[in-house]
Amino acid sequence: MLKSYRARLIAFLAVIGVLIVVLLTASYYSARWVIWEDTALAQRRTVEFHERSLEKLRIDLIHFANLIREDSQVQEYTFATSRIGAGPETLEQLLRERFSSHSMDGVGVLWESGLILTGNDAPHLRKEIQDLPEALNNTVFYLEAGQQIYLVATLPIRYQGDDVGRIVIARNLSRNWLGSQPLDPQSCLFFERNGTIIASTWPDLVGTLLQRPLKRLEIQDPELSLTEIRLPGAAPPGIHLWLAQSNNVPIEALKRYNRIMLGLTVLSLSIILGVGLFAVNSFSQPIRRLIDLTQEVAEGRLPALKRTKGDTEIDQLMNHFIDLIEALRTKQREVEEAHGKLRLSAITDELTGLYNRRYLGELYPKLLAQAEREGLCISAVLMDIDHFKRINDTEGHQVGDTCLRHFSNILRNNSRTSDFVFRMGGEEFLILSVAQCGSNALALAEKIRTATETTPLHLEGRTVRFTISGGVSCMQRNPQYQPTLSRLISLADHALYAAKQGGRNRICESASCGNEGCSSQADRNQA
């Protein structure tokens, strides 16, 4: 019988060893997959950032071109130059005086038979734009001139209802835009034309020939993986923008993790072998089982066991151990229930049942992480019951407490399920929400203000009416700035103060939400 126990225990230990090796191997490959997925995700986000940067530049060029073409003097001088035949010097002087301070590399006017262009890169651009048919048709297009890549925007300019030419705005991407993009030291951006690098944030790469298909760029150190960045607007044939990023960081991370996993595997197998030899030489299966169960209980796990029917000392010990586990399980349930009640009472306000300030500090980091993950805004609505001291003085503190509970019910009924409502103290309340940036928080605050104004409190044949004032603030996290809870509440508090100063019974919005101002019933009546 002893040999049978030993054989079973050895087989059991062998299975455990195999399982550990399998689990560690699976953990390694899972970590490897996660590292590469995170690398790919970071790469996609970087590409999207640069695509948004180009799109913003395109919009800025169109906006600046529209600003110039709306200038009445530019319209008049363009008409005189393109239609009457006046000399272009006056129009060129006007463009130079009016718009030379802007960060554009070329500013000018194009018509069917001529072109006026000012700016640092005007000599490179003038002939290329004149010879390009797209300049008279496309709004935004790309142009290669003087071994530089330019983003060019053109808009028609009209004088007294007739098209007299097109405004031309050019920005040097090779020199100005590439150098302004934030990149880590092991990444670079470059323009490629028909397999040759013509502009790069790493000057040494200019002139390098690329082998197709373009997937990797092999230089001395490091090897770079390539991802194409979409060019908005009319991209020229053969010209592409690439992001080159080093794979050294994830590769080094995988090497470190591989060493850790190998060490853990050796350590785990050594421990199992030592424990197994000790158990085989010292204990029988029932004692081993009791040790394992004791370990599980020590780690906080309470397994469900069946009572044994034997009457040996081991069986009695096992049954007593089962009774102990059942008693611990009962006590654990009681402790968990008591802990839940204590936690609920610790984070809720006793009078209103809303969350209290203590829970605010615990919840805010979670909302901040959600807002960053989903690209949303955190909004705060800080509200205060108007003239609450007067209610306490005239109606009594018991009526004041009833008003607080009544207003708390209004907050619950009009808030969204995703909102978090707090009583900050006294008659001051706060709503935190994560939603799309815009007027959502202001609309919610206005809804609550209207509901409070139109829902009086009825108490034993008398009616108590009261109003509220509120302040709204909105903040969005980005990689350069992490909004703090105190800043968010401070902005809402300033808006609340503005509402109080403006006559109460109104909602004021902080400039952090994009619009600064207040709304009240009187304002809407005037509208």
pLDDT tens figures, 150-162: 888 888 988 888 8
Average of pLDDT values for 321-329? 73
Q: Which pLDDT score is estimated for 508?
A: 94
Q: Where does the pLDDT of residue 506 fall: very low under 50, low under 70, confident under 90, or very high at 90 and above?
A: very high
SS3 126: helix
Q: What is the pLDDT of residues 83-126, one digit of tens each?
A: 887 788 888 888 887 777 677 888 888 887 788 888 878 887 88
In the predicted model, is pLDDT for residue 525 greater than 50? no
Mean pLDDT of the chain, nearest integer = 80
Statement: residue 199 has pLDDT above 80: yes
Quick one: CA dihedral 109, 116, 91, 113, positive or negative?
A: negative
pLDDT range class, residue 82, cuts 50, 70, 90: confident
Note the pLDDT of residue 58: 87
**How far is residue 66 from each of residues 60, 63, 518, measured CA to CA in Å?**
10, 5, 33
**354-366 per-position pLDDT tens digit:** 999 888 888 899 9
For the segment 479-496, the average pLDDT, to the nearest whole number, is 85
Q: For residue 119, which amino acid is it?
A: G
* Greater pLDDT, 496 or 92: 496
How far is the C-alpha of 478 from the C-alpha of 304, rounded, in Å? 49
How far is Cα 494 from Cα 314, in angstroms, rounded to an integer?
A: 73
Comparing 189-193, 225-229, 513-517, which segment has the lowest mean pLDDT?
Answer: 513-517
Residue 263: strand, helix, or coil: helix
Query: Average pLDDT for residues 505-520, to the nearest whole number?
Result: 76
Query: Where on the phi/psi map is residue 397: left (φ > 0), alpha (ψ -120 to 50), or beta?
Result: alpha
Q: What is the pLDDT of residues 251-293, one digit of tens each?
A: 777 777 777 877 877 887 788 777 776 656 555 566 667 667 7
